[in-house]
């Protein structure tokens, strides 16, 4: 089954809980019968800001990423989405605001430092080498080795096996892990990057516009892998300017416009239509649609 936009509905995990919006549900501890203490978010930013020279790229933005949830960051070009994820991924230190990891204040010295703490980022350009094989790209920078000292060598057979198993366990069907990365489709490359982050122990997976360059079908494939990563318990940050990609998979939605937050909504607190019209340009697009509609003759064009 597909939605109106062609994105497979099964990439989503159903809608809001029956009974509509309500207080956050806290599971009861079966041992004590008491409500279990809710875990802090894996990652949280409070009122972060960032300026570049005189340009305010981000001001007063707050959001959180929880285990087994997808936080969507939406906004038009220049909204500050990439700046926010660069803060989350340890590439930029925020000029103001707080960054909390597992509920405690955190500051990273580099993206590597953030990665060591389980925060993996898949950038738009993917940082992969097209002429290198899929399995070599998978282990780029983290090659498995056999032996010690002068006998140390790259465990090629082991690497191939791990990549095959990891891709299979995520349901990614790649004919041959020896083929050059560049021969994969855009959706397959994103999927390999997601499987790689999962394999290397990411707890938070940050994806910068993984579906924006893809057609409807390929975007659906990537959304499925995002759902898989979520179902394995990762917290996912999914950046997109497409509300039709975000809505089926998102648990919370942060809307950015020119560096400021238009609000953060839980799934139960917003409809797909509201999300679409809240997006920068939403009202303009509606006006444009009406304008373009005017010339249409009444009734079906092709009876």
Ligand X SMILES: Nc1ncnc2c1ncn2[C@@H]1O[C@H](COP(=O)(O)OP(=O)(O)O)[C@@H](O)[C@H]1O
Applying CB under 6 A, among 83, 121, 137, 190 the residue interacting with ligand X is 83
Report residue 224 as tokens: 């499925």
CB of 149 to Mg ion, least distance (A): 45
Regarding 54 and contact with ligand X (CB under 6 A), the answer is: no
How many residues of this chain bind Mg ion (CB under 5 A)?
Answer: 2
CB-CB neighbours of 152 under 10 Å: 10
Applying CB under 6 A, among 45, 79, 174, 278 the residue interacting with ligand X is 79
For the segment 39-98, give every residue that binds Mg ion (CB under 5 A). 81-82
Regarding 240 and contact with Mg ion (CB under 5 A), the answer is: no
Dihedral sign of CA atoms 293, 295, 297, 302 in order: negative
What does the alpha-carbon distance between residue 69 and residue 265 come to, in Å, rounded to a whole number? 13
Regarding 81 and contact with ligand X (CB under 6 A), the answer is: yes
Regarding 111 and contact with ligand X (CB under 6 A), the answer is: no
Regarding 75 and contact with ligand X (CB under 6 A), the answer is: yes
| Whether 181 contacts 130, CB under 8 Å | yes
**Which of residues 59 and 203 has its CB atom nearest to ligand X in the complex?**
59
Strand partners, 8: 2
Applying CB under 6 A, among 3, 78, 97, 111 the residue interacting with ligand X is 78
What does the alpha-carbon distance between residue 96 and residue 115 come to, in Å, rounded to a whole number? 22
Applying CB under 6 A, among 4, 32, 77, 109 the residue interacting with ligand X is 77
Regarding 93 and contact with ligand X (CB under 6 A), the answer is: no
For the segment 213-272, give every residue that binds ligand X (CB under 6 A). none
Which of Mg ion, ligand X, none lies near 75, with the C-beta cut-off 5 to 8 A by kind? ligand X
What does the alpha-carbon distance between residue 300 and residue 297 come to, in Å, rounded to a whole number? 8
Pairing of strands 43-52, 119-122: unpaired
**Which of residues 67 and 276 has its CB atom nearest to ligand X in the complex?**
276
Which of Mg ion, ligand X, none lies near 154, with the C-beta cut-off 5 to 8 A by kind? none
Report residue 249 as tokens: 């998979």
Report residue 278 as tokens: 């809240």
Regarding 55 and contact with ligand X (CB under 6 A), the answer is: yes
Report residue 215 as tokens: 């057609």
For the segment 161-200, give every residue that binds Mg ion (CB under 5 A). none
CB of 172 to ligand X, least distance (A): 27
Q: How would you write 86-110 as a 3-class SS string?
A: HHHCCCCCCCEEEEEECCEECCCCC
Dihedral sign of CA atoms 226, 238, 241, 264 in order: positive
Q: List residues near ligand X by CB under 6 A.
A: 52, 55, 57, 75, 77-83
- Binding-site ranges for Mg ion (CB under 5 A): 81-82
């Amino acid at each position: 089954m597909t939605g109106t936009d062609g994105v497979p509905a099964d990439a989503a995990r159903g809608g809001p809980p029956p009974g509509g919006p309500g207080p956050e549900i806290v599971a009861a501890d079966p041992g004590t019968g008491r409500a279990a203490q809710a875990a802090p978010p894996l990652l949280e930013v409070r009122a972060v800001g960032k300026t570049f020279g005189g340009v305010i790229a981000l001001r007063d933005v707050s959001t959180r990423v929880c285990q087994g949830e997808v936080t969507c960051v939406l906004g038009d070009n220049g909204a500050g989405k990439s700046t926010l994820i660069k803060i989350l991924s340890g590439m930029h230190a925020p000029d103001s605001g707080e960054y909390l990891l597992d509920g405690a204040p955190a500051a990273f010295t580099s993206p590597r430092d953030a990665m060591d703490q389980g925060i993996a980022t898949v950038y738009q350009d993917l940082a992969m080498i097209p002429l290198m094989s899929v399995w070599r790209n998978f282990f780029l920078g983290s090659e498995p080795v056999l032996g010690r000292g002068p006998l140390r060598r790259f465990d090629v057979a082991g690497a191939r096996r791990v990549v095959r198993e990891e891709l299979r366990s995520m349901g990614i069907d790649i004919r041959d892990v020896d083929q050059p990365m560049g021969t994969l489709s855009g959706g397959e490359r994103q999927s390999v990057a997601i499987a790689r982050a999962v394999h290397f122990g990411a707890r938070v997976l940050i994806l910068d516009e993984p579906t924006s360059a893809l057609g409807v079908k390929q975007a659906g494939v990537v959304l499925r892998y995002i759902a898989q990563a979520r179902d394995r318990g990762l917290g996912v940050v999914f950046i997109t300017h497409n509300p039709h990609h975000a809505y089926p998979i998102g648990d919370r939605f942060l809307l950015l416009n020119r560096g400021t937050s238009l609000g953060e909504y839980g799934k139960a607190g917003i409809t797909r239509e509201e999300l679409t019209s809240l997006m920068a340009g939403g009202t303009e697009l509606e006006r444009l649609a009406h304008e373009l509609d005017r010339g249409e003759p009444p009734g079906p064009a092709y009876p």
